[in-house]
Amino acid sequence: MSLMKVSPTPAQAEAIRDFNRFYTQRIGVLDPYLGSEFSLTEVRVLYELAHRDQPTASELGRDLALDAGYLSRILRRFESRGWLARAPSPADARQSLLQFTDAGRRTFEPLQQKSRDEAAALLAPLSGRQQRELVEAMATMQRLLDPAPPTAATRTVILREPQPGDIGWVVQQHGEIYAREYGWNSEFEALVADIAGKFLKNFQPEWEKGWIAELDGERVGAVFVVRDSATVARLRMLILTPAARGLGLGARLTDECLAFARGKGYRKMVLWTNSCLVAARGIYAKRGFRLTKSEPYQGYGQQLVSETWELKL
């Protein structure tokens, strides 16, 4: 049964206008964006380039509702500065795949971190209950104004700091997922439990951080940065549940770690993984990590190949 459409009253329309004026002033939309040289539209394009895997210009223009000529001028500017490279599309010779360069990421990541900090500052004066109410209200607005079926772009994704009980969930997910998908035994869960326990016991908030990813209100992922030394940060315990795969969350969590490490002045990030973890290795490689050490070993009931990856920040 379809819902009968009702014309809004003048008072309701004015309420929308009042909210728009309040919110644009509150978040500083009318000011120079994040104090940078970029317009809001340019930062939106940078964001999409940083979080998509080789999009085409037509895809960006369609999804951002941008005029093709205007977008083309933005992309040419980015390309002239070395932030963007193009590669022929194997599916359509008339299209080019847009590749975000390392220089582009170095330009964008401080803006992304500043945006995160400003969003956090907006929420900081509120209680935990008020923060949840605000985020839920925003999700309700988005759902009502854009009632299309949920997709990767429209589902509600939140990255937050770990709360009591989250670390136990991280250990549980590692144990269950790696046993089910790779046949690893409880030795691996014990390893993760030891790492997680040390993170809690020795946590240095000024140098270390963790993120829990929620999808539509459910925990679906996590990642942590720990301090190896004054100059070296380590990425640990990156995990995604099957429900979160294919949404770009693994890449987003990794980017959070890199932005945090750069913001703290670390000069290098390192991580340990295994050769069979193809998806994670792909995320690291695309962000410039280099494989520096590889050796076979017997562990967790399997014959495996351990790998150390490093990235200069």
Domains, the chain, with CATH or none: 10-88+96-120 (1.10.10.10), 156-312 (3.40.630.30)
Out of 67-76, 79-88, 300-309, give the one with best mean pLDDT: 300-309
**For the purposes of burial, counting CB atoms within 10 Å of the CB of 274, is it exposed (0-12), middle (13-18) or buried (19 or more)?**
buried
Tell me what pLDDT residue 2 has: 45
pLDDT digits (tens, 9 = 90+) for 15-72: 888 887 787 777 666 555 667 788 888 888 888 888 777 788 888 888 888 888 889 9
Average pLDDT over residues 98-102: 88
Closest CA to 213 of 182, 247, 180: 247
* Nearest-angstrom CA–CA distance, 198 and 295: 26
pLDDT digits (tens, 9 = 90+) for 251-267: 999 999 999 999 999 99
Tell me what pLDDT residue 24 has: 73
- pLDDT over 60 (residue 151): no
- pLDDT over 50 (residue 104): yes
DSSP annotation of 8: P
Closest CA to 95 of 47, 60, 65: 60
Tell me what pLDDT residue 152 has: 46
Average pLDDT over residues 190-197: 96
Q: What are phi and psi of 90, to 5 degrees?
A: -70, -20
pLDDT band at 290 (very low <50, low <70, confident <90, very high): very high
Average pLDDT over residues 90-103: 80
Rounded to the nearest integer, the mean pLDDT of the chain is 86
Tokens 């193809």 sit at which residue?
Answer: 278
- pLDDT over 80 (residue 223): yes
Question: 3-class DSSP state for residue 23?
Answer: helix
CA dihedral 289, 168, 246, 296 (to 10 degrees): 40
pLDDT band at 1 (very low <50, low <70, confident <90, very high): very low
**For the purposes of burial, counting CB atoms within 10 Å of the CB of 163, is it exposed (0-12), middle (13-18) or buried (19 or more)?**
exposed
Bridge partners, 157 (sequence order): 215
Closest CA to 213 of 238, 177, 188: 238
* Nearest-angstrom CA–CA distance, 220 and 29: 32
This prediction has a pTM of 0.56
Tell me what pLDDT residue 195 has: 96
CA atoms within 13 A on the CB side of 232: 9
Question: 3-class DSSP state for residue 82?
Answer: coil
